A and B are shown apart, each in its own frame.
Chain A
Amino acid sequence: MRTAELIERLAQSPAPSRSATGTLARAIGAGAFVSALLMLSVLGIRPDIAHAVGTFCFWLKFSYPLALAAIALATLERLARPGAHARAGWELLPFATVIAVGLVQWTLTPAPDRTPLLLGHSSALCPWRIVALSLPLLLAAFLALRRLAPTRLVLSGTFAGLLAGATGAWIYAFACDENSAVFLAVWYTAGIALTALLGALLGRWALRW
């Protein structure tokens, strides 16, 4: 086809069908919905939720992934726009905070009680459950990015994975009945990092346009 003909054809529809922010937000909403259904049907909400909402650890477990997801979403929105400057680095803040709180708890705990604090009763499952709950979100984020225009594929994949992992971890927090900051700092972080790694590995080819 000649370029002039192509221009004529393209000029028929000047306006985009939906906004970039709308595309991303809708995708994350849909992914979170599927992930929450998965959590409710397979794992179920922790039975002691009424008691847990009165504990510090529950709110740490609630706010850590949520803060991470918000930062990842803001960065991803920039990464999806060619020519926009994406400032990476803010996502380290929630990581640093939760690790600091974990360290404080670790030091304040007498040595014999530290191992249960670290391992809880579900440490072997926790990261993998987070990755599993993140998969619908990762898929949704990738589908949204493919409609946009990320020019740094590996970085965009990493942040899509971070967003999916953090949102998945947030959803998992309602099912998980562990009550230690040390556990959160290690195993939640591991689950989120694994999902980010998966996003980075897939990004290079799955996000090409």
Chain B
Amino acid sequence: MHHGETQLKQWMLASLGGDAAAYRMLLSALTPHLRAYYARRLAAKADAEDLVQETLIAIHTRKASYDPSLPFTAWLHAIARYKLIDHFRRTGIRRTLPLEDAAAVVAEEDAKAAEAARDVERLLAKLPEAKRELIRDVKLEGLSTAEAAAKTGLSESAVKVGVHRSLRKLADFVRRRA
């Protein structure tokens, strides 16, 4: 579910006024956005979840730093981005982050991504086991043809043909359903 500035800010202001229910709603609403934000920018899923929790704690202990005259999403984004940069610094990863819009965190939609993943799984289930693995390796995990060939024991050209035919088959399924 997408949460806009208006709703989030309303919850935040109510929280600052001592409304525990609004605060629980706020933290619960932020969690999927933060999860998707970190998952998109980090390789390890465990790191992402750690950062989600760390960010929730930072939001909690530093909520006095929110200025109610400013957008809530800008505050949230600055904290999430700081935590990400701090994580890179701690782990010794040298990386520069691209400039992002202040709405970058709330723009991330965990739920939609999960829905899309479920659709893909349903579609893949229509393929035989071996072909399903092949598509997953090459098209979802991003292995090269040579890597997939080494993994499955097939020749590179067999991998290419297999992937091509499976994709055509999937396209047919989609077309028939539509």
Q: Which A residues are within 8 Å of any B CB, using their own CB?
A: 1, 3, 6-8, 10-20, 23, 80-84, 147-149, 151, 208-209
Q: Which residues of B contact A8 (CB under 8 A)?
A: 24
Q: Which residues of A contact B70 (CB under 8 A)?
A: 81, 83-84
B5 smallest CB distance to A (angstroms): 12
Output the nearest chain A residue to B17 by Cβ-Cβ distance: A15
Dominant SS among interface residues on chain B: helix
Q: Which residues of A contact B56 (CB under 8 A)?
A: 3, 6-7, 10
Q: Does B162 contact A (CB under 8 A)?
A: no
Q: Which B residues are within 8 Å of any A CB, using their own CB?
A: 14-20, 22-24, 27-28, 31, 49, 52-53, 56-58, 60-67, 70-71, 74-79, 81-82, 86, 102
Question: Is there an interface contact between A83 and B75, defined as CB atoms closer than 8 Å?
Answer: yes
> How many CB-defined contacts (below 8 Å) exist between A and B?
95
Output the nearest chain A residue to B34 by Cβ-Cβ distance: A3
Q: Given A8-B24, A80-B65, verify A15-B102 contact (CB < 8 Å).
A: no
Question: Is there an interface contact between A83 and B77, defined as CB atoms closer than 8 Å?
Answer: yes
Question: Is there an interface contact between A151 and B82, defined as CB atoms closer than 8 Å?
Answer: yes
In the complex, besides A11-B27, A148-B65, 10 extra interface pairs with C-beta distance below 8 angstroms are A14-B15, A14-B16, A14-B22, A81-B70, A82-B74, A83-B70, A83-B71, A83-B102, A148-B62, A149-B62
A1 smallest CB distance to B (angstroms): 7
Q: How far is the CA of A83 from the CA of B73 in the complex (A)?
A: 8
Question: Is there an interface contact between B75 and A81, defined as CB atoms closer than 8 Å?
Answer: yes
Question: Is there an interface contact between A3 and B23, defined as CB atoms closer than 8 Å?
Answer: no
Output the nearest chain A residue to B52 by Cβ-Cβ distance: A3
Q: How far is the CA of A209 from the CA of B77 in the complex (A)?
A: 16
